[in-house]
Structure 1
């Protein structure tokens, strides 16, 4: 009797899950798997955009350093430097920025804007510096947007892909220009006082325009505006 009772207690009853419950579990697993894949795709896209932005930042800084050499060059060599700078900046537009533009295909751009914002602002600063040295004027937001839009053919139709450039990013890029022009003016002051006065008047005009903007409530802008005024 003991053996019989022992054997009976050792055997655990096997409970079978209802078929409906198994189907629900499978659907949940599939759902969470799709969520995981979607998140992985978002993170991968973010990393590619960040990498492109970092390359843009580094290359734009190199262009700015190249442009500072103009101060000690004659007119002919100065224009050669301008041409090199234009080629480098257009190369960024046709390579890294184009990568970003096509990464954002059919995407909500604002979701990724912060990942390329730093590179974009540095790029705007480089173009602004070049444009002032060449033409003594400020490159416009419209001109920057024109540089960063791309045509492509799909199903026999021509489409346009472009980088989303906010007014805030444009102003922040232009605001960084003050530091570069201040350094340029310091070096130029020994030989070209007219250029120094032109730089001063140019920066004052930009500052007055910044004062009229509606960005006062943004902390990053307030800090940048203060640095701009210190450069003047």
Structure 2
């Protein structure tokens, strides 16, 4: 129906614009950190006020859980890219209660508010680990191994905690698939960090470059 179509479109708009924010975050380095994060936070606020607010308006005062499959991808994407998630050095995440409190501020107090459920929160958290994996690889490429190791520990902790929760969830098919992908992200970060420790700084440029590089063979070029 029309409402479902509007929700699907709103969800897509949230996903597209949230991805733009994360692309900015992946550009962060020790020289531009404050500038990049400041712009990303402003853009994220715009996503909240323009797109999330529209979704909340559509869903408040309704049996929104019946329409979950229409809006869930956008909600998961937005929570993945919330910049509060991208501060592993702080060692904490936004809680579900904090997120829903924020959504209340976008709602009409005279109507039943739209709230995110546990499953959508965990799906967003699972997607976050994939983005953190990409961020960690990028930091290693720029020589920031210590920062990448903090991300690695952060992602490892998330995965470990979720392995205790997911088996007890009633509707856990989606999360089981996410857990497999999450484990791959953990392994990729661990392998990248380990490779740098073993092979040293010569490994770092190779991670962030698509150009052929044969320095690990002891030569600057190699004729195939």
Task: Report if TM-score (shorter chain) is over 0.5.
Answer: yes
Aligned-residue offset at 1:136? 4.6
Q: Which residue in the other structure is 2:98 paired with?
A: 143
Distance 1:210 1:128 in 2: 21
Q: Does 1:221 align with 2:175?
A: yes
The 1:148–1:49 alpha-carbon spacing in structure 2 relative to 1, beyond 3 Å, is: same
Once superposed, what is the RMSD of the aligned Cα atoms? 2.3
8 Å contact kept, 2:86–2:132? no
The residue matched to 2:82 in structure 1 has which SS?
helix
Aligned residues: 183
1:26-105 correspondence to structure 2 within 5 Å? 43-71=1-29, 73-74=30-31, 77-105=32-60
Q: Which residue in the other structure is 1:13 paired with?
A: none
Q: Which residue in the other structure is 2:219 paired with?
A: none
TM-score when scaled to structure 1?
0.71
The 1:134–1:120 alpha-carbon spacing in structure 2 relative to 1, beyond 3 Å, is: farther
Distance 1:55 1:66 in 2: 17
The 1:151–1:189 alpha-carbon spacing in structure 2 relative to 1, beyond 3 Å, is: closer
The 1:105–1:185 alpha-carbon spacing in structure 2 relative to 1, beyond 3 Å, is: closer
Larger fraction in strand: 1
Aligned-residue offset at 1:218? 2.0
Q: Which residue in the other structure is 1:204 paired with?
A: 156
Q: Deviations over 1:148-206 (max 9, x none)?
A: 223667xxxx5466332011111111111122111221222241221122111111111
The residue matched to 2:71 in structure 1 has which SS?
helix
- Could you list the runs of 5+ residues in structure 1 that have no partner in the other structure? 1-42
The 1:142–1:217 alpha-carbon spacing in structure 2 relative to 1, beyond 3 Å, is: closer
The 1:128–1:208 alpha-carbon spacing in structure 2 relative to 1, beyond 3 Å, is: farther
TM-score when scaled to structure 2?
0.73
The residue matched to 1:139 in structure 2 has which SS?
coil
Distance 2:43 2:123 in 1: 21
Structure 1 or 2, whichever has the larger Rg, is 1
Distance 1:124 1:78 in 2: 21
Distance 1:217 1:108 in 2: 19
Q: Which residue in the other structure is 1:194 paired with?
A: 146
The 1:58–1:146 alpha-carbon spacing in structure 2 relative to 1, beyond 3 Å, is: same
